[in-house]
Amino acid sequence: LESSGFINQSYVDEMVSIVKSKGPYFNIGPEIALAHARPEAGANKISLSLLKTDHEISLVDETHPIKLWFVLSATDNNSHLELIQELMTLLMDKQKVQQMCDSKSVEELKSIVNV
């Protein structure tokens, strides 16, 4: 998101700061994190990215293993709500979440999320 200009480095710094101060706040489900910060931290465009890791990585400690790393950029308090609703619909489908965790390629991930 940063290299595309959707967020600034300050947004990334703020997300890291949030995890350090609030703990596993971004851990929204088994193996799923939704990282974000306040719009004024450096969000330039509404966007969502996904990083899928092959192995679990601890968000804060070993009790919060993550494989699906979503990063949300929102430019205000409301305009991203539809995007969040779509993401939550996807993440409530346990079969699709498992398929994402098991996926081996970007193409496979895209087909699962219908991008």
Both tokens of 82, joined, read: 């539809």
Q: Work out whether the CA dihedral 19, 21, 22, 24 comes out positive or negative.
A: positive
> In the prediction, which pLDDT does 25 show?
86
Q: Is 85 exposed, middle or buried (0-12, 13-18, 19+ CB in 10 A)?
A: exposed
This prediction has a pTM of: 0.90
Task: Check pLDDT > 70 for residue 74.
Answer: yes
What is the Cα–Cα distance from 72 to 85, expressed in whole angstroms? 12
User: Which domain CATH number covers 92?
Assistant: 3.40.930.10
Q: 4 lies in a domain?
A: no
Domains of the chain: total: 1
The 10s digit of each residue's pLDDT in 20-43 is: 999 888 999 999 999 999 999 999
Q: 3 lies in a domain?
A: no
- The residue segments making up the domain with residue 20 are 9-113
Task: Check pLDDT > 70 for residue 115.
Answer: no
HSE at residue 50, side-chain half, CA atoms within 13 A, is: 21
